[in-house]
Amino acid sequence: MTVLLPFVINAGLNFVLGLLIAYFLGPAEFGRYAIGAAMLVLLNTALLDWIRLSAVRFYSQKTREEQPQIRATLDVLSAGITLALCGILVAAVVAGVDFGLPVMLVAGSVLGGICAGLFDYHGAIARARFLDAAYARLIIVKNVLALLLMVGGAWWTRDATVVMFGGVLSAMAALLAVRRALADGPLAWSAARRDLASDFARYALPIVGANAIYSLIPLLNRSLLADSNGFAEAGYFSLAADMGLRLFGMLATTLEIVMLREVLRLDETKGVRAAQKRIAANFVIVLMVSLPVAAGLFLVLPAFEALLVPAKFHGHFSGYLQLLLPGLVALAVFAAGIYPVFLLGKRTGLVTLAALAGLLVNLALVFAAGALGPERYALGQTLSFLVVLAITGWVGLRSLPVSLNWREIGIIVAAVIAMAIVVWPLSGRLSPMPELLLQGTLGLAVYGGLMLTFDVARCRTLLRLWLAMRKSRR
């Protein structure tokens, strides 16, 4: 349970972080910041994320003791790519390359992408070794400092570049805070093995290709929207997209942390069939968490916007987020529920093809549906993620040795509908704070009560066991 606490804190701080930065920067400057942040994500995903993925799949406490060359190779790869990117950045700045954005904003994006990659890699190392305390320290230090430095920079300067560098400093400080706890030993270039690096690349690069395409879609849409409608409109769209991606991205990652390492442990100890059965069971849990979160956010969106979203973004935020929600929940279901099938089977090529199909759908809608106005960028992103879910879900779930529990999935859908029937009439009836609290309480009571009543994913049974254990310890 220790590993869950930092994610609860992380999700809350990330939400607050984005809203406060938008509040102090305003729509136009936030639009510039959002494009820089999308560049950061794309750079991290395309060039560094394959090292994190390789650590998740190939590094563990067992391999740490029996195959130290794995960690050595991972460390050398991360250090080499970091040095190469820094060198390319310096050369580009000295040569006077025109980036189309302020040079320092681009520099902040590149350095931020490097730090984000190193942060994610060390987080994977901590999770692989079950060092929950170190992992919690990594997450908490980074997010607390990001809140102070990035929001403080936005308040003090109203400058997107300063905000970007605040993120760089916060990630660097977090890495320094866990350096000793996560180190296996001094960096040894000679211990790294070329054949292992090739194995990592063959395994992870198809996944990286897919993830890079997912990251490219928001960057393309924000840049194109800024060109056609200005940075302010890009800022409106980006705040809704960022808040949604943060929420559902963290939701998917939290589910992955809780469930994926057990899948990999089963694969290592009991074989692939046992691990595949766990994936099928986990898929129900993913739906049980993701669907009510999406429906609940849609239901409380008017009160949420009125209460928490900066006034300059009102109307635009809810309009864009409503269009983005189906795609966001599709992305979360794919990442937490279906992606482990391809990760376990090391059959990641299809994931890249699905992402490419999603990108083509996005571009087709953006360029062919000009009559829809700025909303077409949100619809394009949503349709692209739905296409990815449809393709990977059809192939991945059919490859499992057991079928899904359709009875429980039906109960989940019915419970979400029941929650909506109870909560929807309350919209606009009260002032934002009591309305949001009442909607949240009633929604949780209705949905949670139905999950416990029908013991979906054995939640009632597990709750009873947990209560019995607490009682026996007294």
pTM of the model as a whole: 0.86
- Residue 230's region, left for phi above 0, alpha for psi from -120 to 50, else beta, is left
Give φ, ψ of 99 to 5 degrees. Answer: -90, -10
Both 320 and 358 in one domain: the answer is: yes
Does residue 11 lie within any of the structural domains?
yes
277 and 360 within one domain: yes
Q: What is the pLDDT confidence band of residue 1, given thresholds at 50, 70 and 90?
A: very low
CA 291, CA 341: separation in Å to the nearest integer? 20
Pair 266, 374 in one domain: yes
Give the whole-angstrom CA distance, residue 111 versus residue 78: 14
Neighbour-count burial for 286-318, b at 16+ CB within 10 Å, e otherwise: bbbbbbbbbbbbbbbbbbbbbeebbebbeebbb
Residues 132 and 99 in one domain: yes
Verify that 15 and 56 share a domain, yes or no.
yes
Q: What is the mean pLDDT of residues 383-392?
A: 95
Number of domains in the chain: 2
Residue 328 and residue 465 share a domain: yes
48 with 113, same domain: the answer is yes
Nearest to 171 by CA among 147, 142, 137, 151: 142
102 with 65, same domain: the answer is: yes
Same domain, 185 and 296: no
Among 131, 159, 192, residue at a domain's last position: 192
Q: For residues 187 and 76, is the Cβ–Cβ distance under 8 A?
A: yes
Do residues 307 and 159 share a domain?
no
390: left (phi over 0), alpha (psi -120 to 50) or beta: alpha
Which residue type does 189 have? W
Model pLDDT for residues 48-75, shown as the tens digit of each residue: 888 998 888 788 777 777 788 888 889 8
Number of neighbouring beta carbons within 10 Å of residue 461: 11
Residues 268 and 333 in one domain: yes
The answer to whether position 474 is within a domain reads: no
Residue 138 lies in a domain: yes
Residue 51, domain member (yes or no): yes
Residues 173 and 264 in one domain: no
Report pLDDT digits (tens) over 188-228.
667 788 888 888 888 777 778 888 888 899 999 999 999 99
201 occurs within a structural domain: no
Give the model confidence (pLDDT) of 162-182 as tens digits: 999 999 999 999 999 998 888
Residue 335 lies in a domain: yes
Residue 149 lies in a domain: yes
DSSP 45-106: HHHTHHHHHHHHHH--HHHHHH-HHHHHHHHHHHHHHHHHHHHHHHHHHHHT---SS-HHHH
pLDDT in tens, 10-31: 666 777 888 999 999 999 999 9
Which domain covers residue 129, as residue numbers? 1-192
Give the mean model confidence (pLDDT) for residues 254-278. 83
Q: What is the pLDDT of residues 105-132, one digit of tens each?
A: 999 999 999 999 999 999 988 888 888 8
202 in a domain, yes or no?
no
Q: Are 244 and 12 in contact (CB under 8 A)?
A: no
